[in-house]
Every structure is written in structure tokens, then in C-alpha cells.
């Protein structure tokens, strides 16, 4: 049974009674200090936190709110393992069909029973307007907006629920798009091209009305990050989650109702013809992102509750709060894609791979070549998978949450001449530095299922034995100075090879050297090349490298005669891509020392 929290405050009180929230009374700095505290809490599985005294502001800050799957489950009134039921509801909403059996019928009846909670309830004297500033009174400096990383260009609003609508009406869209503060009433609206807000923006010629809510009830926040069908508003889905209608208030602009109990609401116009350079900021890839241009919003009205709370978060190399949310939402994605493709037995997006760039898919294989249908299905089904760089298909029964088992299936079942699909110049995340062209790059599909029928005729046997010798390792390390370490997996079938960070084009050099000089009969079938800042014995490090440092259209190197292959997952230079590589995110040493020294003063649990 879900639980309907009226607002953020009620949810915080609930968390506190369940030992999932701590309040800090010591004064903290919104510049770096709060994020360093939260980074440690999240890595330790610690609680959400309310900072009551924030330097330079009269407002408190809420952070690490969804930093554990348990708290996400508490927000939705169900344990994380039961979140697939939400995905089943979404699947029915996305593609309504007559029930195919008793289970479907029961699910449909249950959904119809909850449909009464989908329409919003309008409130005309909402808490979110207990304080109102308009025009010249608007000053974003009143908000304790966080600075997350030492080389961030400025302050960044990280948990805004951005509310938009198309020119012809239709469902309101709510998305989370980070907002860089430019001045007292100006922010940059960073929405990616495939997201709902940007799609609405294409319908406007010049100025577009927008509302932004910060600090809402948890169901509305989670609805905003869920793949809701395009014909459904996130408000309606939040009502389903809460099993209670969402209360909204008429906004400054017609058609843009705002959450009535939001802590803070910003309303204004986005000038689609005024672009500003956004960034760099630390991002979920573990790097500072490239600078890109996005439209500017002028805030015309800022309203809030009495004694408002500001909700913030940060992004960095996983795990971070968005990555924890992605793990939970993975349970929601699964029923959506299974309903469309019933042969899919499981679906998993690896947190280590920036949460969406590597997908593991379980398949109830029925015919030769079946795996390739599933690769295309994943890339084409939901906008959320547009930027998924690798799709690895394995047989039903392979535990998708265990990357070692998935990669063992790749080692034993993938032949480079038969089981790989390489695509070039496909849409990718513009934050991906590995590609030469911003927003365009390669993808790789890998059929790691056990082969059947005519598939054996294409490649009768995998070249080489089921176990291999590691005698070549010492010779390679001794003969080639750019190879610094090697870890063998699965009885030597796979080698993860670390190379130094100085030799130009070291990755491709290592890949070609290994394929040419290591005997195909006694050596690995696959070589994965990583930089020396990655541990060859860590699957998380390898997946992160694949997600952030490869363009599969360029970096896959095949040995056509044997079916062996190598992947160059090393950083690129400006000369190789024509783009500056983002700097890795490193916490500020002075802030790290400060937080360590003050930890007992905060009253937080040890980490």
C-alpha cells in the first residue's frame, strides 16, 4: 500500500521517526562543504540530512534525500523489490490492451481503481505562496544554492522540477533540468534535446513560459524522473503513486499549474533566442562537462512557504543520488520493455556505467539471431535509451546484477565475426567526450547468448580452448613499457590490460600489439584496454571506462581471422578527437580536511 505524503516536510518527519534523517545545527557552507558531507553519507549508506544553519541564508537545506533505495521505497510506500508493480501500471498506461489472463485483468482493475487519483485538485490559497516576490524583488541570492565541485563555474540548482506545456495545450510535462545561476533573476535552462521541456520549446518561436518547483512531495519528485508516457502528465502519475490527488495551484501563466505545497516556486519566461554558455560543472560521468549553449530564463516571480527548505543534490561519478534513483527506476523500466517484447526476461542498467550507458538484457531465446532484434528494440523503444552505448544480450538465467557473470557470457559466447553489431554516428549524450563529434558517436550490441542452429554454421567453433595460459603476460609487460598491468578473467579467456597515461595512442597501440603478438590458441579471446587510473580487477572500473571513454564505432578492433577483439577504453587526446577531455572530479583538499575535522561537530553518524 502506497503512502501519500502531503509535502516534503511530512516526508522528512516520517524519515526522522524511522531513523533515516538527521538534522545538523552546526553552521555549514553551501560552497563545497554540504556536498562533501553528502558524498560521504551516500557512500556509507547514511541518512538524509537537513542543514538548519546555512552560511549566507536564512533557509535550511535538505540533501541526500533519495541517497538509498530504502528511502526511495519509503517515499513510495513499498519496498524497492516491489517497484516493478509501478512499471506494470506504466506499461498499461503506455499501451492499453485487453487483459490476456487473470493476472492482467486484476492489474487492470487495480489500475482503474486508482485512476480516480490522477486528476489534480486545484487549490487557490496554496502554501507555496505564503511569501511572494515579483519583478525587481526577485533575488535568487536568497536561496542557499549549492556549489558542488571546486572547478564549477558557479552555483547550480540541482533538484528543480521544470514545468512546461506545448503551445497547443496537452499534458503538462515535469522534468529535472539543472539550472546555472547567472544573476539575481536569470538562470540557464539546460534541457537536452530529447527531453520533454526541450520538445515543448520547439513549438515556441521566441519566449516560452516556464514554472520551476523546488522541494515537493516525494511522489511528485519521483514522477518527474520516471519515464511517464508522453500522453500522461507527471502530475497524474504522481497521483497514482500517492493514491491521492496532487494539489496544484494556478500559476503565473495559464496552463502551468504549480505544486501547491512546494517549498519554492520560480516562474518566468525562457528566451529561446538568448543563449548562454553553460558550465563547466561536475557531472554524473565523473568529469567536468564541456561548455555548451542553452536558453536563458528570466524569473518574474519567486514564491515560497514560510521558513522554506531548499532541496539540493550533486552529481559525480557513481554512486551519487541520481545513480541510486536510476537503480530503483530500473525496476520500473523492466515491465515497460517486457510488455512490448515478452521474450525479454530481465533488464538492468549498470550504475557503474553512468546509470544508462550500458544495458544488460536477459533473453528467452527462440531462434538464431534473436539477440539482434533485442538490441534494436532497446535502442528504439524509449527515449531514455537513446544514449545507451552498449547493449549486451545474455540468456535467461544469467544474473544481470552481477557484471562478472554477464561478462563471462560475453567471454564464452561472443565471436567478433558473428556476434557484434557496431553502429556509427548515432545520437549520444553531448557530455560524452570520447566521440569526435558532440552528440554523435558509436554504439555496440553484443549477442552473448548460447548459439543455436545456423549460428553454428556461421562460426562453427570459438577459436581457442575454454581455458588459456597466462604465460604471455610477463613477456608483454617486459617487452612493451606502455603495458603496466594485466588481469586475467575466466580461466584466461579475457584480459583487462592497464596502460600508462603518457604514451600517445597507447590504447590502440596496446590493442593491436596484443592481437598480433599473443597466440590465438593459448591467449585470451578478448582484450579490454584501460588507463592506469582504473583497476583491471574491478568490473565497476571497466564499465565506467566503457561508458565514458569509448566510441565503439572507432575503438573496437577486430581480428577477423580468429574472431578475437579488443576494445580501447582509454582517454583520448585533443589531437585524437578534436575535443578537450573533461577534467576528473576531485574533491577540494581543504574542504575534505575541514569536513573531516568537523565531523563530530555535525552530529552525524560515523562513516
- Which of 7, 152, 217, 283 is catalytic? The answer is 283
Phi/psi for 474 (5° steps) reads -60, -40
Q: Rounded distance, CA 520 to CA 470, Å?
A: 12
Nearest Cα neighbor of 494 from 512, 519, 533, 468 is 468
Residue 349 CA to residue 182 CA, distance in Å, equals 35
**Contact (CB, 8 A) for 601 and 26:** yes
Three-class secondary structure of residue 35 per DSSP: helix
Distance between first and last Cα of the chain = 33
Q: How far apart are CA 526 and CA 518, in angstroms?
A: 11
Q: Are 90 and 335 in contact (CB under 8 A)?
A: yes
Can you tell me the distance from the alpha carbon of 264 to that of 143, in angstroms, rounded to the nearest whole number?
9
CA dist., res. 73 & res. 77, Å (int): 6
Cell (9 digits) for 496: 583487462
Residue 592 in grid coordinates: 575534505
DSSP conformation class of 437:
B
Indicate the Cα dihedral angle 11, 13, 18, 20, nearest 10°.
Answer: 70
113's CB contacts (< 8 A; 6+ apart) are none
Contact between residue 302 and residue 266 where contact means Cβ atoms under 8 Å apart: yes
Contact 368, 398 (CB under 8 A): no
**How far is Cα 379 from Cα 377, in angstroms, rounded to an integer?**
6
Q: What is the DSSP secondary-structure string of 335-398? A: HHHHHH-TTEEEEEE-GGGTTTSEEEEEE---STTHHHHHHHHHHHH-GGGTT--EEEEEETTS
Place of cell 515497460: 336
25 is catalytic: no
- Which H/E stretch holds residue 403? helix 403-413
Which run of H or of E encompasses 322? helix 321-340
Could you list the active site residues?
283
Amino acid at each position: 500500500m502506497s503512502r501519500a505524503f502531503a509535502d516534503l516536510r511530512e516526508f522528512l518527519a516520517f524519515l526522522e521517526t524511522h531513523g533515516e534523517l538527521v538534522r545538523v545545527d552546526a553552521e555549514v557552507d553551501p560552497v563545497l562543504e554540504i556536498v562533501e558531507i553528502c558524498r560521504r553519507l551516500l557512500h556509507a549508506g547514511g541518512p538524509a540530512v537537513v542543514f538548519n544553519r546555512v552560511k549566507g541564508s536564512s533557509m535550511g537545506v535538505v540533501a541526500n534525500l533519495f541517497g538509498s533505495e530504502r528511502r526511495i521505497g519509503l517515499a513510495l510506500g513499498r519496498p524497492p523489490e516491489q517497484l516493478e508493480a509501478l512499471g506494470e501500471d506504466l506499461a498499461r498506461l503506455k499501451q492499453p490492451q485487453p487483459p490476456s489472463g487473470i493476472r492482467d485483468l486484476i492489474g487492470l482493475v487495480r489500475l482503474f481503481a486508482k485512476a480516480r487519483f490522477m486528476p489534480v485538485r486545484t487549490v487557490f490559497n496554496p502554501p507555496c505562496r505564503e511569501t511572494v516576490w515579483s519583478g525587481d524583488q526577485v533575488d535568487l541570492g536568497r536561496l542557499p544554492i549549492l556549489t558542488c565541485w571546486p572547478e564549477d563555474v558557479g552555483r547550480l540548482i540541482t533538484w528543480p522540477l521544470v514545468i512546461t506545456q506545448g503551445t497547443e495545450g496537452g499534458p503538462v510535462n515535469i522534468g529535472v533540468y539543472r539550472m546555472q545561476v547567472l544573476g539575481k533573476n536569470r538562470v540557464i535552462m539546460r534541457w537536452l534535446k530529447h527531453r520533454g521541456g526541450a520538445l515543448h520549446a520547439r513549438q515556441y518561436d521566441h519566449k516560452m513560459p516556464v514554472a520551476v518547483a523546488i522541494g515537493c512531495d516525494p511522489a511528485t519528485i519521483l514522477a518527474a524522473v520516471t519515464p511517464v508516457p508522453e500522453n500522461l502528465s507527471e502530475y497524474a502519475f504522481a497521483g497514482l503513486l500517492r493514491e491521492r490527488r496532487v494539489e496544484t495551484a494556478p500559476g503565473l501563466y495559464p496552463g502551468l499549474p504549480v505544486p501547491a505545497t512546494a517549498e519554492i516556486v520560480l516562474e518566468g519566461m525562457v528566451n529561446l533566442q538568448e543563449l548562454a554558455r553553460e558550465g563547466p560543472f561536475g557531472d554524473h560521468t565523473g568529469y567536468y562537462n564541456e561548455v555548451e549553449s542553452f536558453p536563458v530564463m528570466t524569473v518574474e516571480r519567486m514564491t515560497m512557504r514560510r521558513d522554506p527548505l531548499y532541496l539540493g543534490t550533486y552529481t559525480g561519478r557513481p554512486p551519487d543520488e541520481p545513480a541510486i534513483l536510476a537503480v530503483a527506476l530500473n525496476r520500473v523500466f523492466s515491465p515497460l520493455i517486457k510488455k512490448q517484447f515478452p521474450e525479454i526476461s530481465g533488464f538492468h542498467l549498470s550504475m557503474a556505467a553512468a546509470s544508462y550507458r550500458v544495458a544488460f538484457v536477459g533473453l528467452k531465446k527462440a531462434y538464431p539471431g534473436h539477440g539482434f532484434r533485442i538490441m534494436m528494440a532497446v535502442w528504439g523503444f524509449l527515449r531514455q535509451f537513446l544514449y545507451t552505448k552498449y547493449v549486451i544480450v545474455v540468456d535467461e538465467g544469467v544474473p544481470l546484477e552481477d557484471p562478472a557473470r554477464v561478462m563471462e557470457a560475453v567471454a564464452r559466447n561472443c565471436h567478433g565475426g558473428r556476434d557484434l553489431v557496431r553502429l556509427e554516428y548515432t545520437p549520444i549524450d553531448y557530455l560524452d567526450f570520447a566521440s569526435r563529434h558532440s552528440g554523435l558517436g558509436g554504439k555496440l550490441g553484443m549477442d552473448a547468448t548460447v548459439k543455436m542452429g545456423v549460428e553454428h554454421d556461421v562460426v562453427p567453433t570459438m577459436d581457442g580452448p575454454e581455458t588459456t595460459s597466462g604465460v604471455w603476460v610477463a613477456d608483454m609487460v617486459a617487452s612493451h613499457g606502455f603495458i603496466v598491468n594485466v588481469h586475467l578473467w575466466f580461466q584466461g579467456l579475457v584480459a583487462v590490460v592497464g596502460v600508462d597515461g603518457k604514451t600517445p595512442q597507447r590504447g590502440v597501440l596496446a590493442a593491436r600489439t596484443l592481437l598480433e603478438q599473443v597466440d590465438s590458441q593459448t591467449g585470451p579471446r578478448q582484450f579490454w584496454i584501460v588507463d592506469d587510473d582504473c583497476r583491471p580487477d574491478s568490473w565497476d572500473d571497466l564499465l565506467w571506462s566503457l561508458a565514458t571513454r569509448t566510441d565503439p564505432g572507432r575503438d573496437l578492433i577486430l581480428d577477423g581471422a580468429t574472431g578475437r577483439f579488443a576494445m580501447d577504453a582509454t582517454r583520448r587526446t585533443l589531437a585524437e578527437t578534436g575535443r578537450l577531455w573533461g577534467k576528473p572530479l576531485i574533491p577540494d583538499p581543504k574542504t575534505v580536511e575541514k569536513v573531516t575535522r568537523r565531523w563530530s561537530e555535525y552530529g552525524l553518524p560515523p562513516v
